[in-house]
Structures are given as structure tokens and as C-alpha cells.
Amino acid sequence: MNGALCGNTILCRYYSLFFQYDGNNGEYVKSMAKIGGGYIALFNALREYQVDDTLNFDVRDYGGFVKSPVGNDFSDRFVLFSILCQINFLIFCIDRWIKEEMPAKLRFAYLLYYSLLNVIPQINDKLGTCFILDVQWKNDKFRNAMAHYKLGVALKNKDLLHDDIMFGLTEHILGAEYMVVKESIYAQLEKLAIQIGNYLGLKEGLVVPNGW
């Protein structure tokens, strides 16, 4: 997006359920798309979000690992590269591309942040690196709310704040307003992406989009 790396097809393959090296998930993805479309039609969820149409998206064919920006082996470097892609996709292709604020922006960010709190220390131990991700917002109850039951179990009627985008969930569990938590987590993830980009020796425009 605008020159920055925001995803890779090898990583996307791992996101597919029932992944097999010699398999083709095309029919499975097609069937899931039909189910998703059925839900959209059922709930009439057809309203489009306002997006920033000044952003430019393009796809580059690196020939698998042959011309990968981080080398031609499935290595620690490619793991870091994939983490960078996930962070950038979240920041630039969700948060900044979609103009409207919505709870999913924090939900996606928190789940990535929470997972990386477990992954980054392991990477630091293995590689002798010093990647930093603050544990300030680590909370199992909030993670479970984001991953599973959302508001229903975490909040009682008396706890609801109807003028808050998450009805007071962040204040109830984390002790801070929605935007404070969201902006803090996005800032930490962006800093981590820059740290990873520097470690991999990537040009600045590949980590942070040109013009930002």
C-alpha cells in the first residue's frame, strides 16, 4: 500500500483452515464466501464504509522466495517479515483506509498485540534481539472478550456506557477510554514494525508507506 509491504500470499495460505502444502483451498474458500454472503444478505449488512480512495494498492510477484525482500529461505527473517506484514495490514489497510471508527479496529489490533506478547519474547531469546512491545494492556479477560464473547459476558447492564463505541468495555476492564487504548496499541505495533524493518534492513518506504 503506497509502496509499503502489507501482506504476502505465503502468509495468507497459513491463515486458511485445513492448510496442506500440496492442497488447493480454492473450493473451500469459495464455499466460505458463499456462507459469508448469505449472512450479509440475511442481516442486510450492505452499507459500505467510507474509505480513503487516495491510497494506492498494488501486488508484486516476487516469485515465491526467489526474490523475496528478506531472502530465499523459510527462515527467522521470513517470520519477522510476516509479522511486519500483519502489522502494516492492520494499520494501513484497516485503520487508515477505512475512515469510520468501529470496534473491530481495536478488536483486530488487540488480538494481534496479545498474540505478539507471547511471540516477541521467544524471538528475542532465539535471535538475541531486543524487540520491544509493552505489556501495559495485557489482560486475559479483555482478550477473551475480543476473541469470543465480546460484550455479553464481560459487561452487566449497569456497566454499559451508551455513548462509548464499545459501551464502556475498555474502561470496565482496562481502566481507560476506548481511544486511549486503541491509539496506544496501534502506536506500539507501529514502533514494533519499524524495529523489525530496521533489523531486516528494509528500505523505509517498504515499512512505512511513502508520503506518511
Check residue 198 and give its pLDDT. Answer: 95
What is the DSSP code string of the chain? -TTS----HHHHHHHSTT--TT---HHHHHHHHHHHHHHHHHTT--PPPPB-TT--------TTTTT-TT-SSSSHHHHHHHHHHHHHIIIIIIITTB-S--HHHHHHHHHHHHHHHHHHHHHHHHH--------TT--HHHHHIIIIITHHHH--GGG--TTSTTTTHHHHHHSS-HHHHHHHHHHHHHHHHHHHHHHHT--HHHHS-TT-
Structure-block grid coordinates of residue 191:
514502533
Band of pLDDT at residue 180, cut at 50, 70 and 90: very high
Residue 90 has pLDDT above 50, yes or no: yes
Check residue 21 and give its pLDDT. Answer: 46
What are the pLDDT digits (tens) for 120-147? 999 999 999 999 999 999 999 999 999 8
Check residue 22 and give its pLDDT. Answer: 54
What are the pLDDT digits (tens) for 68-83? 666 655 578 888 988 9
Cα 119 to Cα 133: distance, rounded to the nearest angstrom: 10
Closest CA to 1 of 89, 110, 72, 61: 89
Question: How many residues belong to the chain?
Answer: 212
For range 61-69, the mean pLDDT: 61
Whether this prediction's pTM lies above 0.85 is answered by no
Amino acid sitting at position 159: D
Ranking 27-36, 88-97, 164-173, 181-190 by mean pLDDT, the lowest is 27-36
Residue 194 has pLDDT above 80, yes or no: yes
Structure-block grid coordinates of residue 116:
505478539
Band of pLDDT at residue 42, cut at 50, 70 and 90: confident
